[in-house]
């Protein structure tokens, strides 16, 4: 196992990784921008190195700065977290070339699966249904390629996920402007502006399957997560298992995830994302070659520590479970992403000093966060403050526990999306498990104005 690991990230995921490293007796190194000097991950790590100015391209997206920090501190491995450089093949290669282990897949696997357009090709070769779309990234003849697919289409960033670099285009007249915006956002988020086109499927469920694979040939797939509740392609609520997926469909989804992991000779933890249409047909969408924001719901129902599994795989050890492709699970888990946004003003960004921060607890409740009372929110990064995750023996009990935990959450000084989550949890459609990617839009259209306050 590694002796010292540098975390090339910030915020709650950096805190999350540090805690597993501490449990495993591994020294942690935090990196931070000038805007993050007071961040919790800097306080909790065994060592910390400033890698540049506030702007991400000069700090968290700077491969030379991060490699230098690893060398200076003597780190023998780097954990990329999610976002930033986590799906960057050049970063994985730079780690390898400098004698540092990248805690994630090889550069080749990232090129094959982390690059969304290449992953589509591999899925087709493996016999997995994909949504109609371009075979490669779009560099020219965009209008002709979009017309061939047929509107509406979705423009998608090829180099990363998390809802960045995505635009829906319903008419040809919108294409050029939306493509420029998608490319610019992708370039800013991932350092790569490549995009490709997919046919836009109306009102599907967003289903994903977490998998893990080690260098000894063991591949496992975890029960699916339902990530259908989204706003502007950003996930708000995730749950596992999905109320729309039975055993037969679950087996098929897991089989598809295992096929792709093995076809790419993947080593590490990843996620295959699917669209599930209203007729129960699923289509491959993309692979995230990293840890997902919503990984805690999988940890809650299976008992796994997925960061630990990443470390084991990267260190050349066997996964902690080698009993077959399918992982057993128990109960139901729900995750709420709490963002610094003003729900009463159309989710406008909120910044400032967090005056009060009291998080819920009790049985079956977990909060992953980097925030504390007195923390000043930087304006340069993602707005997520915390993830509230609950577990219960069944879905109805998990919904009731979410309701209680959301009521216990206290924040003052900045606006948050807590009221949005309270609205979601009280929705009859959510309680009945009747959701799709249009759920949030419908809910907000019918919500009483007072619910946002």
Active site residues per annotation: 290
Whether residue 11 contacts residue 18, with contact meaning beta carbons closer than 8 Å, is answered with no
Closest Cα to residue 162, out of 263, 11, 30, 300?
A: 11
What distances in angstroms separate CA 317 from CA 23, 204, 312, one per listed residue?
17, 38, 5
Distance CA 24, CA 380 (A): 32
What distances in angstroms separate CA 146 from CA 165, 179, 290, 314, one per listed residue?
17, 11, 30, 40
* Three-state DSSP class for residue 33: strand
Longest dimension (CA), the chain: 57
DSSP designation for 113: I
Please give the helix or strand (H or E) that residue 271 lies within, else none.
strand 268-276
State both tokens at 312. 């084991």
* Three-state DSSP class for residue 384: strand
> DSSP string of 283-341?
EEEEEE-S--TTHHHHHHHH---HHHHHHHHHTTPPPS--S-SBPP--SEEEEEEEESE
Whether residue 117 contacts residue 158, with contact meaning beta carbons closer than 8 Å, is answered with yes
Closest Cα to residue 259, out of 90, 401, 113?
A: 113
With tokens 């023998």, the residue in question is 76
Whether residue 87 contacts residue 288, with contact meaning beta carbons closer than 8 Å, is answered with yes
* Three-state DSSP class for residue 132: coil
* Three-state DSSP class for residue 101: strand
Distance CA 129, CA 178 (A): 27
Distance CA 92, CA 102 (A): 6
Q: Cβ atoms within 10 A of the Cβ of 429, count? A: 13
Distance CA 339, CA 178 (A): 25
Angle of the 175-190 helix axis to the 142-149 helix axis, nearest 10: 100
């Amino acid at each position: 196992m590694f002796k010292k690991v540098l975390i090339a990230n910030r915020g709650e995921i950096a805190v999350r990784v540090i805690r597993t490293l501490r449990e495993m007796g591994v020294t942690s190194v935090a990196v931070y921008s000038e805007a993050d000097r007071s961040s919790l991950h800097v306080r909790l790590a065994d060592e910390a190195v400033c890698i540049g100015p506030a702007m991400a391209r000069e700090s968290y997206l700077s491969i030379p700065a991060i490699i230098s920090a690893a060398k200076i501190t003597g780190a023998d491995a780097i954990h990329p977290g999610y976002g930033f450089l986590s799906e960057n093949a050049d970063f994985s290669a730079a780690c390898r070339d400098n004698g540092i282990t990248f805690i994630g897949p090889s550069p080749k696997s990232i090129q094959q699966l982390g690059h969304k357009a290449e992953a589509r090709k591999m899925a087709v070769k493996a016999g997995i249904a994909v949504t109609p779309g371009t075979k490669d990234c779009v560099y020219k003849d965009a209008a002709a390629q979009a017309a061939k697919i047929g509107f509406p289409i979705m423009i998608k960033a090829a180099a990363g996920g998390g809802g960045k670099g995505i635009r829906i285009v319903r008419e040809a007249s919108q294409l050029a402007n939306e493509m420029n915006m998608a490319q610019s956002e992708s370039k800013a988020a991932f350092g790569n502006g490549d995009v490709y086109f997919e046919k836009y499927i109306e009102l599907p469920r967003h289903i994903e399957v977490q998998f893990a694979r080690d260098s000894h040939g063991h591949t496992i797939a975890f029960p699916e997560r339902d990530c259908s509740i989204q706003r502007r392609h950003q996930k708000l609520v995730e749950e596992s298992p999905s109320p729309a997926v039975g055993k037969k469909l679950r087996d098929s989804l897991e089989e598809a995830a295992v096929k792709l992991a093995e076809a790419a000779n993947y080593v590490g933890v990843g996620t295959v994302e699917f669209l599930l249409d209203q007729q129960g047909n699923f289509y491959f969408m993309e692979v995230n070659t990293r840890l997902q924001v919503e990984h805690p719901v999988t940890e809650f129902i299976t008992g796994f520590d997925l960061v630990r599994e990443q470390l084991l795989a990267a260190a050349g050890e066997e996964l902690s479970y080698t009993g077959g492709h399918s992982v057993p699970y128990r109960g139901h888990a729900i995750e709420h992403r709490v963002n610094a946004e003003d729900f009463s003003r159309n989710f406008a960004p909120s910044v400032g000093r967090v005056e009060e921060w009291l998080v819920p607890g009790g049985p079956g409740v977990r909060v992953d966060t980097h925030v504390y009372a007195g923390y000043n929110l930087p304006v340069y990064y993602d707005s997520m403050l915390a993830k509230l995750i609950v577990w219960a023996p069944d879905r109805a009990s998990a919904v009731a526990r979410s309701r209680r935990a959301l009521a216990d959450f206290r924040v003052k000084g900045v606006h948050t999306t807590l009221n949005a989550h309270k609205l979601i949890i009280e929705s009859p459609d959510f309680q009945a498990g009747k959701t799709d990617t249009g759920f949030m839009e419908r809910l907000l259209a019918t919500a009483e104005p007072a619910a946002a306050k």
